[in-house]
Amino acid sequence: MSTQLVDSPTPGAGTASLRRGIRIRDYGIVIALLAIVVALSVSTDTFLTTSNLVNLLDQCSVVGLLAAGATICIISGVFDLTASASLAVSAIVGVQVVRIAGVAVGFGAAVVAGALLGFLTGSIVVRSGVNSFIATLATSIIYRGLAVVVTAGAIAYPLADQADDFGTLTWPSLFGLTSATVVFLVVVIALGFLVSSTTFGRRVYAVGGNIEAARLSGIRVGQVQIAAYVVSGICSALAGLILASRAGSAQSSMATGMELSAIAAAVIGGTSILGGEGAIWRGVVGALLLTLIGNGFNLLGWDTTYQQVVQGCLILLAVTVDQYLRNRNR
């Protein structure tokens, strides 16, 4: 009896290929970010000014928070299209409670509202079994309608004597950064630790990577995905508070469509749309890259009509690279 030898890739070669793919995902976005920073630094006199950099981070705080929430959801294998609608509802709840109980209580109520909306969204997705993209799209329409009903289509304002305190998140804070930026950085660091260094984070990756294997290993898949939506809801509420604090009000049309920018930031940052791969910092870098593009268009005086074209090309490129690396590493 003869034995036939079959050639197969050596483990070392496969590991090296995988590591190269990981390096491209991890650091390709950083190289792109640095390239844009250098280009804007050379081509404009105002980019590296303190005021512009502070403004840049402040602008990034809203989409960055939404991107952090979107990243956790996508890693766990689901999408959250309710982010901007949850943002609006949470901000409106916050303003209404501020009028009754004060700014601190109102801000806390907004965060609680965001968490509850995230829990409700996650429960709908998990219990219904409907694809998360469709389920959250429908839920977002419900939430946006709820925001219209609660406000009767009007703008919600805090009381006149609360206006200054309500704008707390716009005030200068640590190192000259706005309070919104500080909140954004603290939340991102906390979520980065949660995802990368805790049991919950490992379960998020496991569920997104192979939901059936995760279920067979004893992980409560539904609870993990609901928790991911809760985190996303809290991020949406904080983003809503930042926007409301800037405007001094809240309304049902706040941040319409911004959930797509958040998902775009996560994908551009290297988070796989198929789940199981990604990192909070990558999503944040993706958000910063999108903000940099907008800032560059303004500083250079370019027609912002083409900004969406550039962003769309970046999304397409990121998804294409992700698919290529997955196919190569099979």
Averaged over successive runs of 10 residues, the pLDDT of the chain (330 residues) comes to 40 49 64 89 92 94 97 97 97 97 97 98 96 96 95 94 94 90 97 96 96 95 97 98 96 93 91 90 93 90 84 81 69
Residue 1, pLDDT score: 41
Q: Tell me the three state secondary structure of residue 12.
A: helix
Q: CATH number of the domain at 160, please.
A: 1.10.3470
Q: Is there a domain that residue 124 lies in?
A: yes
Specify if 249 maps to a domain. yes
Which pLDDT does position 3 carry in this prediction? Answer: 41
Determine the Cα–Cα distance for residues 180 and 64; give it in Å rounded to an integer. Answer: 11
pLDDT, position 14: 47
pLDDT of residue 230: 98
The pLDDT of residue 4 is 40
Which pLDDT belongs to residue 191? 97
Domain that holds residue 115: 46-328
Angle, alpha carbons 142-66-72 (nearest 5°): 95
Q: How many domains does the chain have?
A: 1
| Cα distance between residue 290 and residue 37, in whole Å | 12
Q: Is residue 6 part of a domain?
A: no
Residue 239 lies in a domain: yes
Residue 20 lies in a domain: no
pLDDT at 306: 84
Angle in degrees, CA 261, 208, 18, rounded to 5? 90
Q: What is the pLDDT of residues 138-188, one digit of tens each?
A: 999 999 999 999 999 999 999 999 999 999 999 998 888 999 999 999 999
* CB neighbourhood size of 153 (10 A): 11
Query: How many beta carbons lie within 10 A of that of residue 277, not counting itself?
Result: 21
Q: Are 85 and 137 in contact (CB under 8 A)?
A: no
Residue 59 lies in a domain: yes
